[in-house]
């Protein structure tokens, strides 16, 4: 009896499986057909490395920049020391030495930025390195301060080519979300050079003479050039559509019409004007207020460099500053004004060192965030010329301030009130940056709501062509 029941159960299960087999066969056939008809997905590249220095081309650029800046600051101290101590240059001659760099930089940075946009940022930096090496030759072979003027002019040409080209190349090597951290990394390498470049140059001059310092400078700038060669030659897309003059005019027009860039122009112009007040009157402040010799100025420069190094290092950790650069620029100026006020408001040398270090922190923030802002909001084929426009404004502000102080030199008796006034004015500019940054943030937050209500303007158009 049980055997009959077992046979009946097995026969029922067999009948059920036979009934299900057509459905299984049909399902298998459909899946196979869908798999054959489904288009193959393209192979996607692996995501970019999370660590910036794992991006090998960018790491080469950082290394090249740090070593090259070591040569720049060593060169700056070498020509300044040779003019003042070997050729016994006076204040007027030293002013010409500074101005010769500023004038060539001011005249050429915007046009060379346009050349960079039309050509190759990488090879523009390489060309700038070659010109920087050439600037050492007049100082090395000459026997008067006039040769140093020539060296300074040529070095200004090199800087006018390198600054917009490096800014453009940085933005081509890293993702948009990493621009703030990338510029912080670049300026960390730069501020390391600010600390050690003058120290090495001063030691070589003291122990072995100026010629040894110039050989060192040639070596490190050449090393920076070699480190550029492995970098891939990435070029801006969409460049070269208009005439040279038309494209250059577009750089000026975009810099003023775009709300964030216009805010940067105002902040940078005012900030560099006020910073030049310190740079020009700093030696007299050390003498009149701190009652120290001029060699103490080197210690203060090193303190500024240490603060700037730490500030640039902090920027590399910023993950939410992208899109809020103007707000952070205002905050940087407020911190800088506080540090500057501590620096110039005291006769105590130790307190002045601390204040200048705090000022250095804000300086690194300001430079890094300014570069990141330009790279984020500007199209690839506009970054070089816009960087040149901002650099030209900064240099013209500095030059105007220096000339104004020279014209008022007979009136200025005590320098401390002017330095305190510049620190207070910087705080006003910082509050302006905070106010504009908040307004830009509110406008940016309102954009998605406008799009949801039927605004057909794409966000990218607002970013690149905003007329403010």
Q: Is 379 left (phi over 0), alpha (psi -120 to 50) or beta?
A: beta
The mean of the pLDDT values for the chain is: 77
pLDDT tens digits, one per residue of 52-86: 778 888 899 999 999 998 888 888 878 877 776 67
- What would the two tokens of residue 302 be? 């090193």
pLDDT tens digits, one per residue of 187-237: 888 888 877 877 777 778 777 878 888 999 999 999 999 999 999 888 777
Instruction: Answer yes or no: is pLDDT of 283 > 80.
Output: no
The pLDDT value given to residue 99: 76
The residue ranking higher by pLDDT, 395 or 273, is 273
Asked if 384 and 121 count as a contact pair (C-beta separation under 8 A), the reply is yes
The pLDDT value given to residue 254: 75
- Domains belonging to the chain, first-starting first, are 60-228+242-465 (1.20.1250.20)
Residue in the structure block whose two tokens are 């001011």: 106
pLDDT tens digits, one per residue of 106-119: 888 878 877 887 88
Q: What gap in Å lies between CA 262 and CA 258, rounded to an integer?
A: 6
The pLDDT value given to residue 461: 34
Q: What are phi and psi of 232, to 5 degrees?
A: -65, 140
Least confident interval from 161-165, 177-181, 402-406: 402-406
Task: Using pLDDT thresholds of 50, 70 and 90, give the confidence band for residue 342.
Answer: very high
pLDDT tens digits, one per residue of 122-169: 999 999 999 999 999 999 888 888 899 999 999 999 998 998 888 888
- Residue 219: CA atoms inside 13 Å, Cβ hemisphere, count? 8
Q: What is the mean pLDDT of residues 388-400?
A: 79
The pLDDT value given to residue 405: 73
Q: What is the mean pLDDT of residues 422-431?
A: 93
Across 335-419, the runs of DSSP E, i.e. the strands, are: none
The pLDDT value given to residue 425: 94
Instruction: Answer yes or no: is pLDDT of 241 > 60.
Output: no
Task: Using pLDDT thresholds of 50, 70 and 90, give the confidence band for residue 336.
Answer: very high
CB atoms within 10 A of CB 254: 22
Task: Using pLDDT thresholds of 50, 70 and 90, give the confidence band for residue 359.
Answer: very high
The residue ranking higher by pLDDT, 141 or 323, is 141
Q: What gap in Å lies between CA 320 and CA 318, rounded to an integer?
A: 6
CB atoms within 10 A of CB 241: 9
Q: H or E element: which one contains 125?
A: helix 121-141
């Amino acid at each position: 009896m049980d055997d009959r029941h077992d046979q009946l159960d097995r026969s029922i299960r067999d009948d059920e499986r036979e009934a299900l087999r057509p459905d299984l066969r049909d399902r298998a056939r459909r899946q196979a057909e869908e798999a054959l008809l489904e288009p193959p997905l393209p192979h996607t590249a692996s995501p970019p490395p999370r660590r910036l220095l794992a991006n090998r081309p960018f790491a080469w650029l950082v290394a090249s920049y740090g070593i090259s800046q070591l040569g720049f600051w060593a060169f700056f101290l070498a020509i300044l020391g040779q003019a003042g101590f070997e050729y016994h240059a006076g204040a007027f001659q030293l002013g010409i030495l500074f101005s010769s760099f500023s004038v060539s930089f001011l005249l050429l940075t915007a046009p060379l930025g346009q050349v960079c946009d039309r050509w190759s940022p990488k090879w523009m930096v390489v060309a700038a390195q070659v010109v920087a090496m050439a600037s050492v030759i007049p100082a090395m072979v000459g026997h008067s301060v006039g040769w140093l003027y020539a060296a300074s002019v040529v070095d200004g040409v090199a800087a006018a080519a390198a600054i917009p080209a490096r800014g453009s190349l940085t933005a081509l090597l890293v993702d948009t979300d990493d621009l703030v951290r990338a510029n912080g990394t670049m300026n960390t390498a730069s501020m390391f050079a600010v600390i050690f470049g003058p120290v090495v140059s001063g030691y070589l001059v003291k122990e072995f003479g100026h010629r040894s310092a110039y050989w060192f400078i040639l070596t490190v700038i050449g090393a920076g050039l070699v480190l550029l060669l492995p970098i891939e030659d990435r070029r801006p897309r969409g460049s070269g559509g208009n005439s040279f003059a038309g494209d250059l005019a577009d750089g000026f027009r975009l810099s003023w019409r775009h709300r964030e860039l216009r805010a940067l122009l105002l902040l940078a112009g005012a900030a560099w004007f006020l910073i030049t007040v310190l740079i020009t009157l700093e030696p007299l402040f050390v003498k009149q207020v701190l009652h120290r010799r001029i060699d103490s100025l080197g210690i203060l420069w090193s303190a500024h460099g240490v603060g700037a190094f730490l500030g640039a290092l902090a920027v590399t950790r910023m993950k939410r500053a992208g899109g809020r650069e103007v707000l952070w620029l205002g905050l940087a100026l407020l911190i800088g004004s506080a540090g500057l006020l501590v620096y110039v408001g005291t006769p105590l040398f130790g307190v002045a060192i601390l204040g200048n270090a705090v000022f250095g922190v804000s300086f690194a923030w300001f430079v890094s965030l300014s570069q990141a802002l330009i790279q984020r909001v500007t199209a690839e084929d506009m970054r070089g010329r816009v960087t040149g426009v901002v650099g030209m404004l900064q240099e013209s502000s500095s030059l105007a301030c220096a000339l104004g102080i020279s014209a008022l030199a007979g009136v200025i008796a005590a320098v401390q009130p002017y330095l305190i006034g510049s620190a207070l004015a910087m705080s006003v500019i910082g509050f302006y940056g905070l106010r504009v940054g908040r307004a830009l943030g509110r406008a940016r937050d309102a954009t998605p709501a406008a799009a949801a209500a039927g605004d057909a303007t794409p966000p990218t158009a607002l970013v690149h062509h905003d007329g403010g």
